[in-house]
Amino acid sequence: MENLRLYGDKPYEAIVVHGGPGAPGSVAPVARVLSKKIGVIEPFQTKDYIEEQINELREVIEKYCNKPITLIGHSWGAWLSYMFAAKHSKYVKKLIIVGSGPYDAKYLHLMNNTRNSRFTEEEKQRINQLSELLHNLDTDNLNQVFKELGNIMTKADSYRPIVSENEIVKYQPKIFMQIMPEISELRKKGELLDIGNNIKSPVVVIHGDYDPHPYQGVKEPLSKVIKNIKFILLDNCGHYPWNEQHDKDRFYEILFDELKDNFT
């Protein structure tokens, strides 16, 4: 698997970072649409640790971009972009966070309660089975287990999705199992939020009101550490705004408006 895809023409002035962790290709629809007006890079994360993924992203920017870029991160990619912007501010002109997880562990119960209320009893049983298999790295069909679990979560995370199939090119369960405990520990200690004090670029937060990741868990913590920040809440919209019947067009209107300074 290549570690990135390029869209549109040079110069590459926007980077769209996928979630998961371990779901490369999931933001391909966003990169394609944005590339109608701007050169876009869709990097794939291949490393097992946060610091390595930050370095991997830096290497992509240094190789393909000749000036600060607009960094757009979705879900896990929102956290990764946030941490990157804090550490390497000179590379980031603007940070756009889409469908981010909460930055304070106290909001986790809201997310879990919301998701659980949307699962059927059969889905709850299957989630438990799949979770046990996922935590056993000797499971033969680990990629399929990760895919099925992700599909159940995506169903609960979406309001009125346009398509049910995603564009993930390769499921990476081992990366997921390595990264999630690391980022969870950073959040538990308060270090994830503290990192935001080092962000110098403007920040735009886009979040769906139906997303089980609570909007409050993004807005309230980040308001304490980032001065130049804008929050946009999309109505009747889940975790994947570009795949929602009600808000797809509005989502892209927002992105193009935030990127307009790059258009020639």
Give the pLDDT confidence of 11-50 residue by residue, as tens digits.
999 999 999 999 999 999 999 999 999 999 999 999 999 9
The CATH number that applies at residue 258 is: 3.40.50.1820
Domain that holds residue 202: 4-108+159-262
| Cα 117 to Cα 7: distance, rounded to the nearest angstrom | 39
Q: Residue 181 carries which side chain, given as an amino acid letter?
A: P
The set of residues, in sequence order, having a beta carbon less than 8 Å from that of 260 and lying 6+ positions away, is none
Residue 262: what pLDDT?
73
Torsion angle defined by CA atoms of residues 212, 216, 222 and 224, in that order, rounded to the nearest 10 degrees:
-160
Burial of 61 (0-12, 13-18, 19+ CB in 10 A): buried
Residue 116 lies in a domain: no
Q: Residue 263 carries which side chain, given as an amino acid letter?
A: F
Structure tokens at 164: 């049910």
Q: How much is the mean pLDDT over the chain? A: 94
Residue 75 lies in a domain: yes
| Confidence category of residue 264, pLDDT binned at 50, 70, 90 | low
Residue 15 lies in a domain: yes
Q: Are 41 and 71 in contact (CB under 8 A)?
A: no
| Cα 237 to Cα 246: distance, rounded to the nearest angstrom | 7
Per the structure, the count of domains in the chain is 1
